[in-house]
Amino acid sequence: MSNEHPAFELVTSAEIESLGVEVLEYRHRKTGAQHLHIAADNPENVFLVALRTVPHDSTGVAHILEHTALCGSDKYPVRDPFFMMIRRSLNTFMNAFTSSDWTAYPFASQNRKDFANLLDVYLDAVFFAKLDPLDFAQEGHRLEFAESENPDSELVYKGVVYNEMKGAMSSVGSQLWQTLSKYLFPTTTYHYNSGGEPADIPDLTYEQLLNFYRTHYHPSNAIFMTYGDIPAAQHQAVFEEQALHKFEPLDKIIAVGREKRYQAPLAVEEHYPLSSEEGLKEKTHIVLAWLLGDVTDLEEALTAHLLAGVLLDNSASPLMKLLETTDLGTAPSPLVGLDDSQRELVFVCGIEGSERERADEFEQQVIAVLEDVAKNGIPYEQVAASLHQLELQQREITGDGYPFGLQLILTALTGATHRGDAIGLLNIDATLEKLREQIKDPRFIADTARKLLLQNPHRVRLVLSPDDELADRRSAAEKARLAEIKSRLSEEEKQQIVETAKALLERQQREDDPSILPKVGVEDIPAEMPKVEGETVALGPQKLTRYAAGTNGLVYQQLVCALPDLTEEEKQLLPYYCQILSEVGLGERNYLEVQQWQTRVAGSLHGFSSSRTAIDDLHNLNGHFVLSGKALAANQAALTELMVATIEEVRFDELPRIKELLLQTLARREQGVVGNGHALAMAAASAGYNRAAFESHATGGLLGLRQLKAMTRGFDSEHTLEKLARQLQAIHNKIRSAERRFLLIGEDDKLSQFSNALMPLVNGAEAQTSLSSAPFDPHRIQQLWLANSQVNFCAKAYATVPMAHEDAAPLAVLGGFLRNGFLHRTIREQGGAYGGGASHDSNIGVFRFYSYRDPRMADTLKDFDASLEWLQDGKHQESQVEESILGVVGGLDKPGSPAGEAKKAFHSELYGRTHEIRQEFRRRVTEVTLEDLQRVGSTYLKPELASTAVVTGSQGREAGLELGLEEERL
């Protein structure tokens, strides 16, 4: 029942049974601000305020404004309230995003006092930002001399967003999407890069930033969104009192118009930078993209989603089958699928690992597949299976990445942004039911494919080819631009640049009084961490652990095997075995038939392996293989049958399929290097300390990527593939005969029935131990990994202790202490990196420093060391320790989805991390003192013992070699 504040009026509401929520839409009477409230019986409350931001160039104005707005406000005139609040809070999520047509400021917390504190700070930051010119210089862009006080040295560009976008646009996937958007959207805001193109960012002036803020950051252009068990009226009282009553309505409507349509398809070619050392052969991307209908038309959007699913859901889907098997490329494009994040839907399909002269033939192949679909349709069972996947996505309560409430909010935000039916995007059951009726017509999908794709002339074919001189040309253009700017500078202007750099440094080094900001303290931490209760029962001779959870009609089940004794070569192949297991044929079914079977009965089915050290011994490594599935409850027996077939009847004789899968994996992992460079650098730096750290680097890290590249180079030989198939079968034979145990998660009233249905998976194997204490020779690492990146990712690592050791808790707290007090300022604010920090991984017993999208290398590595001197010599407050404790506890207590929480509890117990042990570790964290931090710092973090790894591009090679790092190539 609605109970709004007098300043708001209720517009509409809806109960959404499938999600267990009520959604209410309100309008602020005076300014017209929207408020969408999702009422749920969930103590993790979520807030988001979004502004429609519609840039008309690629200077990154919306993105830079997002950063700068969080650098101080009227009520909180400190330099960095956002990052200061992160460490004064028990938040479960806190961030800010710039999308292509909105900017959003979300947070979540389970603590009411904390939620109120964060809401207070966020409202002031968004609507009453200071926007200091020095913050614009720090976060956006500025000119500095390479030697900051020497006007005779060369000019350089600096700025956090400038370097962030240099890193972001190093990703081929980002370049592909941005280039495609430029042609798909010739007249609307999506034509431009809202994050900012590095070459265009320096064109943005401070006055343009202010003008954009005045028009876009106004309540009339705002969407307030909330989720949880705090009543809507309570939120609205705060919105009104702290912000809205101070504003008059805006006399301007900010919106994205409909795109002007092409009358004929467009074919374009552009280039991306790639070093010739990486080889230019078969590195071209070819993509086809169509502009479809309005995202706010629910029926049109879901029909497009269904068509995309039918065409691309799995390897047996007609278009995905082409993309995976065509000899014109090595893998499907990373952009494949339907994008519904903008005003109009975009359908994309394409390939990578191709050549530009193959574009015509590839386009003909795609059109031929679509014409076949339009002529002959798709069997009803396949269409129904794709609709089943849509229903599963709607029903599943997620929240293991973002909070569940935030995921719902972001789903609705697209509709709200374009003043459409935001509630409808959440309440899709009626439209799904209509689609169930429509697909009974055998012509429905055929006619939809013809209408949306074949008869749609707004189609773009983009060929994105590598150019080994492009990076040098861009670098030369930037240097020439800076040299030309410098040549026109008067002495007074040169001195102004020097003074601005000095003023910014002084501002960055200024110690603000944090006491003006609200906070929670250790006294606000709940005494007990949340506990998930399950029960372990016998399933024949083996064990089943089951959890009752609110899964909204889904069931989750896992078959878990203790990892048998594998050879070193088998360990390297284990990740690929896990991936291939559910992607190949079973018994008499080939892989295409299996893919259709999976789509029909399961939400997902996949294998993975995990390993942990013992809680008190880093040399004892315990590992498991897991076959994990989920399905609608009605399909549990069918899911179990599929899992039995997967483990008992898998066949590794489809050699072309295995080759295809591994080439796709290679493509994804190569593209992921730049986005995940800091984690890969940390894994490389840690790899010399123990077997657990080495195996992480050798499977999921850069070493594993290099080994995968080497393996795929031999795939032209049938003998190589046959040998690999035999090795995969050998791994499978060992796993199949290993002892099994089972995990089951579902709604309480169905658990017994579900448990009995798992009996066919029992194999009766006896218990065995997989503890490994194979010898390992610890050694320091000093490595420079070269990748296709314009920025650096730096890491240093130190050997430490496992979880049960008394020093593990202070080491966990030390990471946040060094980040909050020193590294954030030196690495991000002064150094210009997008991020940097430190953390302790007690599973491998390693403390790691890292930087992310970093223009520097040597100075960053020095800053890591300088933070340790600061730790011992600086004048620190106990409040700084408390802030870091809050961060660690917030991470430990962060909730997941109901099923995710149960999985986390089970797998923690599996590796000896019982609730009691984790609770004890949490208790020790809350009692850490400054003396503890200084003691563990001096004991374990001695710079002469550090291992170092840097991921960089060709521009950083010389600097890395000068530091004595050994060059490593992928």
For 8-33, the DSSP string reads EEEEEEEEEGGGTEEEEEEEETTT--
Burial class (CB in 10 A: 0-12, 13-18, 19+), 193: buried
Q: Is 464:272 a contact under the CB 8 Å cutoff?
A: yes
SS3 label, residue 155:
strand
- Tell me, letter by letter, the H, E, C secondary structure of 741-768: EEEEEECHHHHHHHHHHCHHHCCCCCCC
Helix, strand and coil in the chain, % to nearest 5 = 50, 20, 30
Task: Report the alpha-carbon distance of residue 682 to residue 796 in Å, rounded.
Answer: 7
Q: Is 838:850 a contact under the CB 8 Å cutoff?
A: yes
Q: What distance, in Å, lies between the first and last C-alpha atoms of the chain? A: 60
Report in angstroms the alpha-carbon separations of 477 from 175, 480, 481, 653.
19, 5, 6, 53
- The amino acid that residue 688 corresponds to is G
Say what angle helices 878-893 and 808-818 make with each other, to 10 degrees: 110
What angle (nearest 5°) sits at the alpha carbon of residue 457, between those of residues 453 and 463? 85
Q: Is 107 left (phi over 0), alpha (psi -120 to 50) or beta?
A: beta
CB proximity list for 160: less than 8 A, separation 6 or greater: 67, 138, 139, 140, 828, 829, 832, 833, 834
Q: Is 68:161 a contact under the CB 8 Å cutoff?
A: no
The residue annotated as part of the active site, out of 4, 25, 44, 66, is 66
Of 280, 328, 281, 290, give the one whose Cα is nearest residue 311. Answer: 290
Task: Report the alpha-carbon distance of residue 340 to residue 337 in Å, rounded.
Answer: 10
Burial class (CB in 10 A: 0-12, 13-18, 19+), 858: middle
Task: Report the alpha-carbon distance of residue 309 to residue 378 in Å, rounded.
Answer: 12
Q: Is 743:563 a contact under the CB 8 Å cutoff?
A: no
Task: Report the alpha-carbon distance of residue 740 to residue 485 in Å, rounded.
Answer: 69
- Strand partners of residue 145: 155
Residue 790: how many CA atoms within 13 Å on its side-chain side? 19
Q: Is 599:386 a contact under the CB 8 Å cutoff?
A: yes
Q: What is the DSSP letter of 428?
A: -
Q: Dig out the tokens for 170 from the structure.
A: 């190093």
Task: Report the alpha-carbon distance of residue 848 to residue 685 in Å, rounded.
Answer: 8
What angle (nearest 5°) sits at the alpha carbon of residue 916, between those of residues 912 and 918? 70
- Catalytic-residue membership of 25: no
Q: Is 719:587 a contact under the CB 8 Å cutoff?
A: no
Residue that has been written with the tokens 């994050």 in this structure:
195
Task: Report the alpha-carbon distance of residue 797 to residue 684 in Å, rounded.
Answer: 9
For 197-242, the DSSP string reads -TTTGGG--HHHHHHHHHHHSSGGGEEEEEEESS-HHHHHHHHHHH
Report in angstroms the alpha-carbon separations of 445 from 350, 366, 387, 770.
21, 17, 12, 51
Task: Report the alpha-carbon distance of residue 513 to residue 78 in Å, rounded.
Answer: 7
Using CA atoms of 911, 916, 919, 923 in order, give the dihedral in degrees to the nearest 10.
-120
Residues with a catalytic annotation lie at 66
